Copies of this chain bind each other. A is one copy, B any other.
Amino acid sequence: MARPKQFDPEHALDAAMDAFWRKGYAATSAQDLVDSTGLGRGSLYNTFVSKHRLFEEVLRRYEEQWTTRQEAILEGPEAVRERIRAVMMTVVDEETAAQDGRRGCLAVNAAVELAGLDADVTRLVRRIFGRVEEALYGALARARRDGEIDADKDPRALAQFVLNAMYGLRVLGKTADRHTLTGIVDTTLAAL
């Protein structure tokens, strides 16, 4: 019908995600987004409407990618504790791998920066948190039925407990060393 886009919107979304992830929402300028995506200002606004809408889209994409990966690990055939160790260790790995700035979890960063101030972001973050909790709950409930987890433990409480520890790692990961973080993972797993 007309001139097609010269860029891949998903690729641009990934570039924008990287920018927001490193610097946060407020500190990432329109110019930063132009630079990181390589798009012109016009194309950027023509495609993504506004900085805010772009950020929402980025969060949705993050949910799609990250949550799906966590769900896949948690639905695996290994022992629950191994599966939960695996998801927790992806967090530790992410935080300690990058030598240049540990950027944490985009959803956690967004929650800390904007929850309560921005209704749309709050809603998106709540959904991401909810999905991960649900995946943990699924794994733990199944493990309890299978006798891997004591019958007197509440899978819902355990799921929230693990989720809490994972998000703690995102915060402590900003300053703590790998040894400390793996120690926390061990202590957390021992409580299941």
Report A's interface with B, CB cutoff 8 A.
22-24, 26-27, 100-104, 108-109, 111-113, 115-117, 122, 125-126, 129, 157-158, 160-161, 163-172, 174-176, 180, 183-184, 186-188, 190-191
Contacts and interface: CB of A to CB of B under 8 A. Distances in A.
Given A24-B26, A112-B104, A172 B183 contact: no
A183 B160 contact: yes
The interface centre, meaning the residue of A160, A180, A191 with most chain B CB atoms within 10 A of its CB, is A160
Contact of A112 (B108, B126, B165, B183): B108
A171 B174 contact: no
Copies of this protein in the complex: 2
Q: Is the interface of A mostly helix, strand, loop or mixed?
A: helix
Contact of A172 (B163, B186, B187, B188): B163
Given A164-B169, A165-B164, A23 B175 contact: no
24 contacts: A24-B26, A100-B116, A102-B115, A103-B116, A108-B112, A108-B171, A111-B171, A111-B174, A111-B175, A113-B113, A115-B175, A157-B184, A157-B187, A160-B187, A161-B187, A164-B165, A164-B168, A164-B169, A164-B172, A165-B165, A165-B168, A167-B167, A171-B171, A191-B191
